[in-house]
Structure 1
Amino acid sequence: MSNHLFQIPLTKLQGVGPQKAEEFHALGISTVGDLLEYYPFRYEDYRIRELSEVKDGERITIQGTIASMPSMQRYGGKSRLICRVTVESMLVTAVWFNRAFLKDQLTLGREITLTGKWDQRRRHLTVADSEFPDRSSAKTGTLQPVYSVGGSITQAAIRKLIDRALNQFGSLIPEILPPELLDKHSLIPRREAISGIHRPENTREGTEARRRMVYEELFLFQLKLQAYRATHLKQADGLVQPVNNDEIRSFVGALPFSLTDSQKQVINEILHDMKQPYAMNRLLQGDVGAGKTVVAAVGLYATVRAGHQGALMVPTEILADQHVRSLGKMFEPYGIQVGLLTGSLTERKRRDLIASLQMGLLDIVVGTHALIQEDVFFRSLGLVVTDEQHRFGVNQRSILRRKGMNPDVLTMTATPIPRTLAITVFGDLDVSTLRERPKGRKPIKTYSVKHQMMDRVLGFIRKEAEQGRQTFFICPLIEESEKIDVQNAIDLHIQLTQALPELSIGLLHGRMTAGEKEATMALFAAGKTNVLVSTTVIEVGVDVPNATLMIVMDADRFGLSQLHQLRGRVGRGEHQSFCILIADPKSENGQERMKAMTETDDGFEISRRDLEIRGPGEFFGTKQSGMPEFRLANLVNDFEVLEQARDDAAALTAMEQFWSSPTYAELRENLARDANLNGEPLD
């Protein structure tokens, strides 16, 4: 909406004095523009319906004739008014609570319109609203908007004021969207849409009005992100990394497994970006076990072959150690040197490693946040890969990027983000997705059981151990907590050692030293430990192909995406794997999560359900800064519109005339008011 309406104070509307304006200000409404963009969150339907099409318990509006004199009952200062009404040759009992003043108006034979909750069995209507057609019927036959209100502002008051604003200033509502987008999506004009949202004539008009304004809301948000990309990220100041396709084919061909079609497509997208004169900024997302590490390895190989260095930042030392071993095997035949930089290195080893990086003797370094310390420098950093990127803050990621001259950046996540959320939260990134699993991987069978079934669970552990398989046993806490009655790792380790004396039981948790963790994991990886009791320190990336059983204690305490991550630690070998979730059946949200886990092992479906259960702001466990609050749009339901809006915004900002033509002046004005484009980059 043009600046003009946002400059007209509410006091310009009849009936709004300073005190009333202050009350509206508490709702975030200070100007006529704010008021017109204060949308209803639902509608009350006052359209008359036939009783035959109404279900029990529904809210309905019916019209009839008063067929009996009203009777009044009083109790404890309250009242109940009862009257019979003939509706479509049926006798209906209408009941009003605390509406004693209506008694004299309920005269025999008078027509009346009633709105309320229908009890089909008793033919009984609990009346919420009533009107007489022989007077003015303001609501009958209409859809009435319902707004968030507070203080002394009632629904009637805000409806009346919005009506007044539309009548007085509606003609000043400008069109923001260019004609080509209105035509492309068959969108109604903006003035019509804002009026239709606040006072729809019928459902169709309300739907079309909402569709238009949802598209606009998502389009304007995407326009900011795409304009930022066009003005900041796609400037030709990145490294042009020549990629030799024959060398890449040879490297991929030497791998001990075949790449999936999905992996090949994503590798092509990454290598294409690396050849461009602007810095790559790509998000690689894929389900657990989809093979993201191999894709990253091809990118790291390409940057080394182009004469640069690569860095891989991961959230835990266990994962860093594992990556160094797997990358080392892949790169050893090519003479590519891989180093490990974590907080537990001795001072001398750390000094030597940093010197090797600065002199270019080390090609690739894998590390934790130790990589971003001030004294770590590269000779020529070409590619930065961040694994499980949502574990690192914006600042940590950007510090690593600044250690090179605009290196290419690949951020990876094994928490599959619903595409809508990826486009929204990481809208300034290109998104690549791995959907397929490597060939030969069997689906993991998942079961949800009660705590009372622990004996059967122990029997399952014994059975797997007899066949030479191993078990992960996860619990939420390290030690006993007075606040939360959940099984803890240390107690569980003692109990399992007593219950399964013939088996070797290991213990892993976050308070152990790096050396202790490494030794524990090495024993488990070598098959010398049958069962590993652990906290969620093993959630990300740990790869033990012989582990076939994942048991999660107090599973209802974990988030859905976290449970899926834990399940992904098994099923990495040739044998059938299982996941057993031990949960409290009384936990309502927990049961919803258990149902999702046992019904599907598709990470994208899991994340979609997680988004529905928790909402976008909580999807990453903590509220994501920069997560926009939309007034109308719903990221779960409006994902198709979001994708359209993203594509349209990208095409528009790529056109030279967008930045100069009068046709797009309103859109440019809207961008100019956005602080993000003038302040810190959207990393």
Structure 2
Amino acid sequence: MNASNRIPQISELKGVGPSAVDVLKQLGVESIEDLFSYFPYRYDNYEIQDLENAGDSDHLTVRGKIQSEPVLSFYAKRRSRLSVRVLSGRNLVTVIAFNRPYLKKKLNLGDEVTVTGKWERARAEITATEFHIGAPDFSEQIAPVYPVKDGMTVRRMRSIVRQVFNQFQDSIVETLPPTLIEEYRLMGRKEAIREIHFPTGRDALKQARRRLVYEEFLIYELKMQCYKQVKRKSGGGTRINIQTDSIRSFIRTLPFPLTRAQERVVKEILADLGSPFAMNRLLQGDVGSGKTIVAAIALYAAVTAGFQGALMAPTEILAEQHADSLQKLFEPFSVSVALLTGNVRGKERRPLLEELKKGHIDILVGTHALIQDDVLFKQLGLVVTDEQHRFGVGQRRLLRVKGKDPDVLYMTATPIPRTLAITVFGDMDVSTIDELPGGRKTIRTYWVRHEMMGRVIRFMEKELRQGRQAYVVCPLIEESEQLDVQNALDMHAELTRSLPDYRIGLMHGKLTNDEKSEVMNGFKEQKIHVLVSTTVVEVGVNVPNATLMIINDADRFGLSQLHQLRGRVGRGNDQSYCILVADARSETSRERMKLMTETTDGFRLSSFDLQLRGPGDFFGKKQSGVPAFKLADMIHDYRTLAAARDDASRLVLNPHFWKDESFAQLRRPLIDSGILEHTFLD
């Protein structure tokens, strides 16, 4: 490209001063392409709509007549709130306008007004962003709203985007080959970028978004698929010689037969272990689906082939439980299992590490204590990380480098739709246990208001009289001035008074590890009848005699967390119960409580949770590496995500993709990312 055809940077544009350039840079916009890809996060819809057809929380425009005198009130340093009743069609609604006190003198009964704002159906209320007397002529029926800051207004951003598009639209390059555009009947890229910024109608906007979402997903999935192929071709990995007869003998000794889902997952994992490439697999399954047994089989396969195994858990309680269950399973097979946590110190720790280094310990179970520098294995072949999302990426890596390209199995009891799991954990293969062991009784779940707590305690006493135990979970350790919710200290005191014949234990995050172990062991040994706790019991605690889980202020927890807590009961032969205590004042809270009582399907619950909270909040962005898409939404666009992943996996294996000029623009991000040199990702 010669100098006259060079596309300038934003800083070189006429009419865009230094202060605007600085703000744009803070927003991640430095080039013309950055600006084209700086998408609106919503649109002001100035098309007049009928409220009968409007959805809750829609941002819309309606026309109507004033039916009441406006009421003006002031609060917090001259801030104001004006409310007025407006009849729009057959709907009488309240319109709220903040910080527009001048409207009170301008609005009269019978005036026709046009209001744009957020509609809340439950309250029959519109919070106005724009308020016009009469019928204004909007220049744009659907106007983009951009994220802005520091003096950059939405109106100014619209103007800059329009100026740049009009001047440089011919520089927009098509990224997709004609074959994919035709297959999915997609808009061209230039047309899609024009429509996403300057919509000519709702249908055109929908098609523009569909095109750009597919492109964004496809480029991401190409990177993921390419990374897996490059990693595989680069060698590494340990081929574990699978001792099929020994593994079958071990499986026959298990207390329960494997479910078909467990058998399928075991087959996938053993195939990975027996390959020359390093396994990088996520094992996901609902609470009680039998993931630990699958991990035990994988560890046994590694040990019988002459390798060592490591299992890292997020808490000492869970690590101790894993070590105890593995010791019992492996005792007839002379497999040595050791436990390493922060509590193992000094004289006890040194000989353990020496035995590990010599290869005399087959399986080491522990917390993040496993990743310390002085923990050395003789020949680490398999690493299992339980509840992997609770560890940072760096912590998981430190355990993996304890061996020479060991196989890695991550486990999670936070079930998510398979397509989403493959994207969030993009460089992993995903195995899903989607079947629970037979014979288990469904946990009966009930939702009650706070005023029914007396009846709940009487029901608890009935369970205790039959020799069973109960958990009572509270969102806080102690009383808070900011939050009016139940705390563990007060609940412990109340239950101690109400149930004098029973011992009430208390567990929370401020206890030392020794104190936590003492309380938990007391509960396991039935010396403690009721365990009052914060959410430290959420993961992995296994007390089959506990049949009752009471969760206070349940509407404060996410659905997946409630499901995890519920999974602490239902582990024995007796009927178990989960009681959600919550006033649940909002419509969303009521819907969540109702859903908990209707289903014990963790996949259904987590899908609903994801829709409410979004993937970033759900997984924790630091831990999971959830990709920050500009336009795409992994939850709502999951069908497009699935199509993009299938296309990407097909393309990277096709020699045509790497040579044909029509794919050149899709190859460019792969080259720029460094993925082909194996520098992309961890």
**Bucket of the pairwise TM-score, normalised by the shorter protein:** 0.7 to 0.9
The CA deviation at 1:675 is 6.8
1:569/1:20 CA distance change after superposition, 3 Å: closer
1:336/1:200 CA distance change after superposition, 3 Å: same
Q: 1:552 corresponds to which residue?
A: 551
Q: 1:329 corresponds to which residue?
A: 328
1:150 and 1:305 mapped to 2: Cα distance?
61
2:205 and 2:187 mapped to 1: Cα distance?
11
Does 561-570 or 415-424 show the bigger shift?
A: 415-424
1:397/1:187 CA distance change after superposition, 3 Å: same
Q: 1:648 corresponds to which residue?
A: 647
Secondary structure at the aligned position of 2:384 is classed as strand
Q: 1:563 corresponds to which residue?
A: 562
1:483 and 1:677 mapped to 2: Cα distance?
52
Q: 1:92 corresponds to which residue?
A: none
1:246-300 CA-to-partner distances (Å, cap 9, x unmatched) read 3333322332212122111111111111111110001111111111101101111
The CA deviation at 1:378 is 1.3
Secondary structure at the aligned position of 2:569 is classed as coil
The CA deviation at 1:339 is 1.5
What does residue range 11-26 of structure 1 map to in structure 2 within 5 Å? 15-18=15-18, 20-22=20-22, 24-25=24-25
Secondary structure at the aligned position of 1:416 is classed as coil
Q: 1:9 corresponds to which residue?
A: 9
Identity %: 52
Q: Are the counterparts in 2 of residues 319 and 540 from structure 1 also a CA contact under 8 Å?
A: yes
Secondary structure at the aligned position of 2:502 is classed as coil
The CA deviation at 1:366 is 1.1
Q: 1:289 corresponds to which residue?
A: 288
Q: Are the counterparts in 1 of residues 475 and 534 from structure 2 also a CA contact under 8 Å?
A: yes
Secondary structure at the aligned position of 2:338 is classed as strand
Q: 2:40 corresponds to which residue?
A: 40
Q: 1:673 corresponds to which residue?
A: 672
1:360/1:17 CA distance change after superposition, 3 Å: closer
Q: 2:307 corresponds to which residue?
A: 308
1:379/1:208 CA distance change after superposition, 3 Å: same
Does 18-27 or 346-355 show the bigger shift?
A: 18-27
The CA deviation at 1:409 is 0.2
Q: Are the counterparts in 2 of residues 240 and 274 from structure 1 also a CA contact under 8 Å?
A: yes
1:6/1:529 CA distance change after superposition, 3 Å: farther
1:169/1:129 CA distance change after superposition, 3 Å: farther
Q: 2:93 corresponds to which residue?
A: none
Q: Are the counterparts in 1 of residues 417 and 607 from structure 2 also a CA contact under 8 Å?
A: yes
Q: 1:167 corresponds to which residue?
A: 166
2:368 and 2:60 mapped to 1: Cα distance?
57
Q: 1:579 corresponds to which residue?
A: 578
Q: Are the counterparts in 1 of residues 440 and 573 from structure 2 also a CA contact under 8 Å?
A: yes
Q: 2:84 corresponds to which residue?
A: none
Q: 1:29 corresponds to which residue?
A: 29
Q: 1:81 corresponds to which residue?
A: none
* Aligned partner letter, 2:29: I
1:484 and 1:221 mapped to 2: Cα distance?
41
1:564 and 1:171 mapped to 2: Cα distance?
53
Q: Does 1:404 align with 2:403?
A: yes
Q: 1:343 corresponds to which residue?
A: 342
The CA deviation at 1:223 is 2.2
Does 572-581 or 145-154 show the bigger shift?
A: 145-154
Q: Are the counterparts in 1 of residues 554 and 562 from structure 2 also a CA contact under 8 Å?
A: yes
The CA deviation at 1:390 is 1.3
Q: TM-score, structure 2 length as denominator? A: 0.83
1:62-96 CA-to-partner distances (Å, cap 9, x unmatched) read 99xxxxxxxxx9x99xxxxxxxxxx9xxxxxxxx9
Does 505-514 or 292-301 show the bigger shift?
A: 505-514
* Aligned partner letter, 1:371: L
Does 33-42 or 361-370 show the bigger shift?
A: 33-42
Q: 1:250 corresponds to which residue?
A: 249
1:275/1:146 CA distance change after superposition, 3 Å: same
Does 588-597 or 315-324 show the bigger shift?
A: 588-597
Q: 1:226 corresponds to which residue?
A: 225
1:185-244 CA-to-partner distances (Å, cap 9, x unmatched) read 332221222223233433332222111100111112222222222223553210011223
Q: 2:374 corresponds to which residue?
A: 375
Q: 1:500 corresponds to which residue?
A: 499
* Aligned partner letter, 1:32: I
1:515 and 1:97 mapped to 2: Cα distance?
61
1:128 and 1:248 mapped to 2: Cα distance?
79
Secondary structure at the aligned position of 1:468 is classed as coil
Q: Does 1:599 align with 2:587?
A: no
Q: Are the counterparts in 2 of residues 262 and 436 from structure 1 also a CA contact under 8 Å?
A: yes
1:37-86 CA-to-partner distances (Å, cap 9, x unmatched) read 222333445557899989999955899xxxxxxxxx9x99xxxxxxxxxx
What does residue range 447-458 of structure 1 map to in structure 2 within 5 Å? 447-458=446-457
Q: 1:319 corresponds to which residue?
A: 318
Q: TM-score, structure 1 length as denominator? A: 0.82
1:548/1:518 CA distance change after superposition, 3 Å: same
1:229 and 1:491 mapped to 2: Cα distance?
52
* Aligned partner letter, 2:37: E
1:345/1:165 CA distance change after superposition, 3 Å: closer
Q: Are the counterparts in 1 of residues 425 and 624 from structure 2 also a CA contact under 8 Å?
A: no
What does residue range 444-523 of structure 1 map to in structure 2 within 5 Å? 444-481=443-480, 484-523=483-522
Q: 1:266 corresponds to which residue?
A: 265
* Aligned partner letter, 1:29: V
Q: 1:433 corresponds to which residue?
A: 432
1:279 and 1:538 mapped to 2: Cα distance?
33
Instruction: Tell me how many residue pairs correspond in the alignment.
Output: 633
The CA deviation at 1:114 is 9.3
1:231 and 1:485 mapped to 2: Cα distance?
54
1:50 and 1:392 mapped to 2: Cα distance?
50
1:58 and 1:627 mapped to 2: Cα distance?
28
* Aligned partner letter, 2:475: P
* Aligned partner letter, 1:31: S
* Aligned partner letter, 1:525: K
1:579 and 1:53 mapped to 2: Cα distance?
39
Q: Are the counterparts in 2 of residues 224 and 677 from structure 1 also a CA contact under 8 Å?
A: no
1:563-589 CA-to-partner distances (Å, cap 9, x unmatched) read 221111001122221111223444777
1:124-159 CA-to-partner distances (Å, cap 9, x unmatched) read x97478567xxxx854xx544343445665555544
* Aligned partner letter, 1:282: R
1:206/1:554 CA distance change after superposition, 3 Å: closer
* Aligned partner letter, 1:247: S
Does 390-399 or 654-663 show the bigger shift?
A: 654-663
Secondary structure at the aligned position of 1:446 is classed as strand
1:623/1:362 CA distance change after superposition, 3 Å: closer
Q: Are the counterparts in 2 of residues 471 and 549 from structure 1 also a CA contact under 8 Å?
A: yes
2:492 and 2:134 mapped to 1: Cα distance?
63
Q: 2:391 corresponds to which residue?
A: 392
Q: Are the counterparts in 2 of residues 235 and 278 from structure 1 also a CA contact under 8 Å?
A: no
1:187 and 1:652 mapped to 2: Cα distance?
18
The higher radius of gyration belongs to: 1
Q: Does 1:610 align with 2:614?
A: no
Does 277-286 or 640-649 show the bigger shift?
A: 640-649
Secondary structure at the aligned position of 2:619 is classed as coil
Does 533-542 or 474-483 show the bigger shift?
A: 474-483
1:165-200 CA-to-partner distances (Å, cap 9, x unmatched) read 333322221111233332333322212222232334
1:192/1:523 CA distance change after superposition, 3 Å: same
Q: 2:194 corresponds to which residue?
A: 195
CA RMSD in angstroms, aligned pairs only: 3.8
Q: Are the counterparts in 2 of residues 508 and 532 from structure 1 also a CA contact under 8 Å?
A: yes
Q: 1:80 corresponds to which residue?
A: none
1:316/1:116 CA distance change after superposition, 3 Å: closer
Unaligned runs of 5+ in 2: 65-69, 74-88, 90-99, 107-111, 125-129
